[in-house]
A and B are shown apart, each in its own frame.
Chain A
Amino acid sequence: MGAEIPFDVANIPGPETGEVVAPKVIGSYISSAKRPLLVVGSEILRDEFFVELAIELGKKGIPIAATGHSIKGFVEKGYCENVQYYNLHDLTNCLRDPNWAGLDGKGNYDFVIFFGITYYYASQMLSCIKNFATDPLVRAVSIDRYYHPNARMGFANITPRQEEEYKAMLNRVVGSIKRR
């Protein structure tokens, strides 16, 4: 696959940029995490499918930080198990601190999955994680319809015409996650 351009075309951070991969690669990468965290943003509210997909991930035992006003979607679906509102700035600040207790009090995460967050805000927070959450390493991927150069892995830019294809890709990510 050729080099992908960032969704915001000038958003080129520097020498280290993320890889564009297939859904199942992301799925198995997520499977390798000890303590993964799903971070969702307000864009998941644009279609119930995305909220339901997040809930599916939640049901696989991946805790969810609902940033922006995305928590609304979960409350409306009556899913409150594994999900908590967090401001994304605040959350990212915590993620770079190895001593952070996490949402459940059991410690920081080694892996974060960004999903449905306004592109440029997500990009900046991924940049913080890439540059400052390095000891121990927090790995970050994106499963958005955007190419995110600051994530370690993600998809290429997806046009509105490819929406159905995108949904299928997300289903493949979920399907290929194997968790104990």
Chain B
Amino acid sequence: MDEIKKGDLFSIAGLENVKISIGEIVEEEGGKDWEPMGPHPMPRIATLRDWDFKLLNRYKPFYAPLCDMCCLCTYGKCDLTGNKKGACGIRMDAQHGRIVLLACLVGCSAHCGHGRHLLHDMIKKFGRDVPIDFGPEVDVEAPLTRLICGIKPRTIGDFEQVFDYIEEQLVQLADALHTGQEGSYMDFESKALHMGMLDSLSKEAADIIQIACYGMPTSHEGGGPNVPLVDVGIGTIDTDKPVVLVIGHNVPPAADIGDYLTDNDLEDNVELAGICCTSIDTTRVYKKAKIASALGRQLRVIRAGIADVVVIDEQCIRADIVELCQRTHSPVIATNDKAMHGLVDRTDDDPDAIVADLVNERVPGVIILDPEQVGEVAVKTALQMDKKRRKLRFILSDDEFKQYVNECTQCGNCTLACPNGMRIGEAMASAASGDIKPLADMFDLCVGCGRCEQVCKKQMPIVDVITKAAYPQLREEKGRMRIGRGPIWDSEIREVGAPIVLGTIPGVIAPIGCGNYPQGTKDAWLIVKEFAERNYIVTLTGCMAIDAALWKDEDGKTLYEQHHGRFDGGGVLNIGSCVSNAHIHDAAIKIASIFAGRKLRGNYEEIADYILSRVGACGVAWGAMSQKAASIATGFNRLGIPAVVGPHSTKYRRAFLGRADVQDDWKIIDASDGSELYFEPGPQHLLVACETVEEALPMIAKLCFRPSDTDRGRSIKLTHYIDLSQKYLNTYPTDWHLFVRSATDLPIAKKTELLKILEDKHEWKIDWKTKRILEGPIRGYDPSFNPTNLKRLVRERK
């Protein structure tokens, strides 16, 4: 075989013996010295700054201020319009880096606070020594903890030092927000990336603790791909029974309710349903639990009066929950000191006395801070309230509906208040003249905020009017999803490591996060469907996992029923709640460690570099809403995983955008000989918004390109990128040629057509006899290319 020189263009024909060095599979060692300590255990703010700056120089922070002022200190308010300086000397760009850091702080605090709280409760209940044992298929149990902290947790008590580390760093980062500290937007962003990393670590710790303590699915029997299906949707809740509705993100109180039902043989008599992540986690511990909805339907589920008692824990709970629940006579039990809603603390009071107060509506709700005391009160209250509430009606009557739609003056106030700008007046008018479809169609488009009702001069209960119009479809909102499976197995990683790194499984797509969609939940379903059918691996968590389960094919099957649940091509996996999305980070890390043999311990930078260059993964937070979503995405980004977000996410004010046209931004090192070369922009962005799902689909496919793709993998990725563009944009992508290194990169079915375009439109030189590319690409394809962004990883030339 001829020697292949760097940058040479050549065809793969005849090179079947080329050995591609992507590392060998390594077995985990036991014992104390399980791995030599890497360079960066428990990194501090400045430790990984060089890595951050590598990312930030390629994917420059982009700012779109939501507000042109700073209102944080008494020097101000300051007008920063036009990147002016404020009185303290900070410029608009740094101020926005600061706001982003603040958002990530809030988000990371939510995950870290939740994790610490959980750990505290679990140690109290089970002791420090609950072992971390994920079964025979999971040896690398806590990849982020090993990677960032350099420790291998054996019991839940080992996570105390993890939270000590996170909390210390959180305070340092919060300090940087103070007036008169950081002044550089680049450093604010480096700190935000650090915060994002801490966020991912917090999530991993929280999920591992709850898995260990509650026996949630792992690789023990019935776990992994074989986890059972659960009912999802408002229509699946049996309102003939008393209903306990849990809302939030912290499972212990809900778990206690499940235990109480089991212990008292009430499983078939009482419905336990939930909203958001607590509901996902409840189904991981209590088999009969149901998922009423994701975040976007919270207001409507409560208004529909389904709940005989509402139990809230933390995060993603409406701030007006008590007021809302009073309207439907649903008593509230708050179980967490972070969300007490002005109620009276009754922890340790006699349960029957609390129940009596709630049932007689002497108080709208109570606080019970010990999760183990919630079950009895919640269930007894639900049983009694069910009887009391039976005669109540919550959905509008036909007459009320008619009256309201006729009263609407089409003033347009609601439209100006609606985050999605919905033209409600128009739909009201059409309903008044007999066609309720436009109003009914708004049910799914509405993100359920209730802002419209605040401004309606006719004091119209607009949300209820829409719900009434959509009532028949709401009753049919019945989906199925697999319960959260938690960790990806090491054995699965061994199977798919090579196809992912080589590109023959074109990517791992991770739809995650909240329900602030521009066009309703169906887009969540479409994203999953397109990629699963194209043999990508689709791993979902949180609200997107729930929303994607609401839609069915012609045979009445949801995506979870149509597709397998393995971490393998074509799989549709519900990983679990928001904290479970650490396992998606973990899967990427394990590809680097288990499959490619990279050392994990204290070695964040090297692993992130590996993922950025080789693992074709892309997060999709199509309805990202909260500050947690900001810190989650930022955590993905620091680890080298890009994310596509919906248009509402431009209100996060910051993106990380690469410039395909700036050649110098796309330089990478070949670790096998230290040479530097220009490469194609893969992935082009780290964080980018799309306006519509039609635009997002090809963008997600594009962000799965990696410099290490083999020609076969690249041709598969190009096939999907081009195909999705043609399907949803009616055209070829404008930049597909940037990703072509040799003719073997081209999709076989279109090879001739594409070569012709390269010749005609891009003036590349083609040898038509051999169908080879002679001149044109950014670089040639070299199967032994070993990309890295870190000089220290350059091996000596053999």
Residue numbers of A with Cβ under 8 A of B are: 5-9, 13-16, 41-42, 67-69, 71-72, 75-76, 84-90, 92-94, 97, 100-101, 117-121, 124-125, 127-128, 130-132, 134, 157, 159-161
Contact = CB atoms under 8 A, between A and B. Distances in A.
Nearest to A42: B692
A172 to B, nearest CB: 23
B83 interface: yes
Given A15-B79, A124-B651, A160-B423, A85 B733 contact: yes
19 contacts: A16-B68, A69-B728, A72-B731, A88-B691, A89-B689, A89-B690, A92-B62, A92-B64, A93-B655, A118-B518, A119-B421, A120-B421, A120-B647, A120-B651, A127-B68, A131-B63, A131-B65, A131-B83, A132-B93
B82 interface: yes
B82 A131 contact: yes
Interface string B410-454: 101000110101010110000000000000000000000000000
B65 A89 contact: no
Nearest to B726: A75
A8 B65 contact: no
Which 7 residue pairs across A and B have the least CB separation, nearest first?
A: A14-B68, A68-B691, A69-B694, A124-B650, A124-B64, A121-B647, A128-B64
Contact of B655 (A69, A89, A97, A101): A89
B349 interface: no
B688 interface: yes
A13 B647 contact: no
Contact of A121 (B419, B425, B650, B729): B650
A19 B487 CA distance: 54
Contact of B421 (A5, A8, A159): A8
A120 B517 CA distance: 13
Identify which of A14, A67, A92 gathers the most chain B CB atoms within 10 Å of its CB: A14
B64 A125 contact: yes
A125 B63 CA distance: 9
A13 B691 contact: no
A112 to B, nearest CB: 14
B648 A68 contact: no
Interface string B434-476: 0000000000000000000001000000000000000000000
Given A85-B733, A128-B64, 14 more contacts: A13-B81, A69-B692, A69-B729, A71-B729, A84-B734, A85-B734, A89-B650, A120-B421, A120-B647, A128-B65, A131-B68, A131-B82, A159-B410, A159-B412
Given A14-B68, A68-B690, A124-B651, A131 B730 contact: no
A90 B698 CA distance: 15
Contacts of A134: 82-83
B69 interface: yes
A2 to B, nearest CB: 15
Contacts of B685: 89-90
A69 B532 CA distance: 22
Nearest to B416: A9
B125 interface: no
Contacts of B657: 89-90, 93
Interface in B75-99: 79-83, 92-93
B524 to A, nearest CB: 17
B665 to A, nearest CB: 12
B698 to A, nearest CB: 9
A8 B734 contact: no
A120 B83 contact: no
Interface in B680-728: 684-685, 688-692, 694-695, 699, 728
A15 B81 contact: yes
B517 to A, nearest CB: 12
A72 B728 CA distance: 8
Contact of A13 (B66, B518, B694, B695): B66
A7 B518 CA distance: 16
Contacts of B648: 120
B661 interface: yes
A9 to B, nearest CB: 4
B530 to A, nearest CB: 14
Contacts of B518: 118
A174 B695 CA distance: 28
Given A85-B734, A130-B81, A131-B82, A94 B659 contact: yes
Interface in B186-220: none
A8 to B, nearest CB: 7
Identify which of A41, A89, A92 gathers the most chain B CB atoms within 10 Å of its CB: A89
B67 interface: yes
A160 B690 CA distance: 26
